[in-house]
Chain A
Amino acid sequence: MIALDVPFTEDKVRALKVGDMVNITGTLYTGRDAFHKYLHDGGEPPVPLLDQIIYHCGPVVVREGDQWVVRAAGPTTSIREEPYQGDILKKFGVRGVIGKGGMGKKTLEALRECGAVYMHAVGGAAQVLARRVTRVKGVYLLEELGSPEAVWELEVKDFPVVITMDAHGRSLHEEVQAKSRLALEGIL
């Protein structure tokens, strides 16, 4: 298990490879469909994204007194952001993306070019992941995008992920798909 603090640097990221299990400590910014479209359409990021991590997640957040509290925070399917992700990585210097299900060739190429990684959180593990969120530091675009789609600034401790697409052009998703295709041909 590798422990990594955010913000990431290019050196830290280039040292990671497919299959590495990483616990992240620091800040994550949630962003899903509406945020990616917003940036793609020319919207300005509400916070500097240089060396930061975007988490594909629409958390369940409730207000308790004057605090926001995260009740569930699992990943959502990443492939929907495939048309936008590569350009956003390049334009804003984002150093990592967390989601589930993996992404495609365009993102993989951008990861290699920029020195960034795709990290897979375990889908459905909403309680394990919510408990690694220690504090909600802020929220942006809440009015404009609505709660699940807003940009939540989350402070996390030991947030567990697996590197499934690295900065060297490798994708676990491509590899598992290719191997399972061969295995299936053998079975049939």
Chain B
Amino acid sequence: MSKLQESLLELVRRTSAELPDDVVSAIEASRAHEEEGGAGAYALQVIHDNIDLAKTASAPLCQDTGSILFFVEGPVGLDQIAFREAAENAVRIATEKGYLRQNSVDPVTGHNAGTNLGPGAPYLHFEQHRGDTVEVRLMLKGGGCENVGAQYALPDTRLGAGRDLAGVRRVVLDAVFQAQGKGCGPGILGVCVGGDRATGYEASKMQLLRPLDDRNPDPEMDQLERTLVDEANRTGIGPMGFGGATTLLGCKIGLLNRLPASYFVSVSYMCWAYRRQGVRLDGAQDIAAWLY
């Protein structure tokens, strides 16, 4: 097995079994807000126990190990074909080892090859940068939360949402309301304002690569992120939709230029089992540092 493949396999294993520290901290902090003895507090207790068990046992935190999404930043000249091959091998081996469920099927026949490999699986997104390091981030996103994602085209007369940030606020809160507990909340939203139907959704997912405790450099977006979390938590949907104070753990908003004719707001909902890890590789393609 090549060094790169070995490093990527370890990235997959850890992503499936261990939530990043920023997510664990946010879940722990939310427990203080739930009414003692209530169903919301109970759900968070089970979630807490599950996080510990999965880490100790190095076993999948959730049985739905989700879509496998790699985000790679590397220097000019990074061999993307070789990288993809290494990532595919790592995914195949991770599936054999049980880090990942056999989770990728033919869209029409439903046939499951049992390898997690096939058209579109795994997904790899490459970016170049001027430095000489390679950073690889991995997200595993389950089907329950992916199913409650939503895309809105403003204006939306049904929701009274115009083509401005007040309209953005209305449709994002509608997405939270529509999701109720079905996305395995408390959830984290990745939002993109602008772009087209494809780039908007992609950018909304990439917002989920941001650490939960970071701040948006754009003060207006930073304010909107905070407002949306606060307002979503006032709906009372609560953990698992059982009712309670914690509906969202975070909201991250990014912007893409749009066509004058289009005004899309794309919302990706991430479940509490927010599996996201990243590594910086050294020159020998060993793991030099963990990014979260």
A contacts, CB < 8 Å to B: 19, 21, 58-60, 62, 71-74, 76-77, 79, 100-102, 120, 122-128, 131, 146, 160, 162, 164, 172-173, 175-177, 179-181, 183-184, 187-188
Query: A126 contacts B63, CB within 8 Å?
Result: yes
B210 CB contacts on chain A under 8 angstroms: none
Quick one: given A128-B49, A128-B53, A162-B39, are A120 and B60 in contact (CB under 8 Å)?
A: no
Which residue of A19, A179, A180 contacts B39 across the interface (Cβ within 8 Å)? A19
Please indicate the chain B residues that have their CB under 8 angstroms from the CB of A73 in the complex. 63
Does B200 reach chain A (CB closer than 8 Å)? Answer: no
- Give the residues in chain B near A176, CB-CB below 8 Å: 180-181, 236-238, 241-243
Main secondary structure of the interface of B (DSSP, over half): loop
Q: B274 CB to closest chain A CB, in angstroms? A: 10
Q: Are B182 and A77 in contact (CB under 8 A)?
A: yes
Q: State whether the Cβ of B221 lies closer than 8 Å to any Cβ in chain A.
A: no
Q: Is A183 a contact of B234 with CB atoms below 8 Å?
A: yes
Contact with A along B10-41 (1 / 0, CB 8 A): 00000000000000000000000000000100
Q: Is B144 an interface residue (CB 8 A)?
A: yes
Q: Which of B183-199 contact A (CB under 8 A)?
A: 184
A124:B50 contact, CB within 8 angstroms: yes
Contact across chains for B50 and A127 when beta carbons are under 8 A apart: yes
Complex interface residues of chain B between 222 and 261 (CB less than 8 A to chain A): 231, 234-238, 240-243
The reply to whether A184 and B180 form a contact with Cβ atoms under 8 Å apart is: no
> With A102-B181, A176-B236 known to touch, is A124 a contact of B271 (CB < 8 Å)?
yes
B residues contacting the other copy or chain, number (CB 8 A)? 43
Q: Which residues of B contact A (CB under 8 A)?
A: 39, 42-43, 46-47, 49-50, 53-54, 57, 59-64, 98, 101, 112, 142, 144, 147, 160, 170, 173, 177, 180-182, 184, 231, 234-238, 240-243, 271-273
Query: What is the bound-complex CA distance between A128 and B44, given in angstroms?
Result: 12
Question: Are the C-beta atoms of A125 and B50 separated by less than 8 Å?
Answer: yes
Complex Cα distance, B240 from A74, in Å, reads: 13
| Interchain nearest-CB distance for B275 vs A (Å) | 10
A122 and B43 contact, CB distance less than 8 A: yes
CA distance A39 to B63 in the complex (A): 25
Flag if A180 contacts B61 (CB, 8 Å).
Answer: no
Closest CB-CB distance, B269 to chain A, in whole Å? 13
Question: Given contacts A124-B62, A126-B50, A126-B61, is CB(A102)–CB(B184) below 8 Å?
Answer: no
Q: Which of B54, B235, B271 contacts A180 (CB 8 A)?
A: B235
Q: Are B180 and A120 in contact (CB-based, < 8 A)?
A: no
Chain A: CB-nearest residue to B17: A127
- Chain B residues contacting A180 (CB-CB under 8 Å) are 177, 180, 235-237
A21 to B39, CA, bound (A): 8
A162 to chain B: closest residue by CB: B39
Are A124 and B184 neighbours in the complex by a CB distance under 8 Å? yes
**B53: shortest Cβ distance to chain A, in Å?**
4
Question: Contacts of A146 on B, CB cut-off 8 Å?
Answer: 112
On chain B, the residues within 8 Å of A183 by CB distance are 234-236
Residues of A within 8 A of B101 (CB): 60, 72
State whether A188 and B142 are in contact (beta carbons under 8 Å apart), knowing that A21-B39, A72-B63 are contacts in the complex: no
A-B contact pairs, 6 of them (CB 8 A): A21-B42, A120-B242, A123-B62, A172-B39, A177-B180, A180-B235
Cβ-closest chain A residue relative to B43: A122
Residues in chain B near residue A127, CB distance under 8 A: 50, 53-54, 57, 59-61
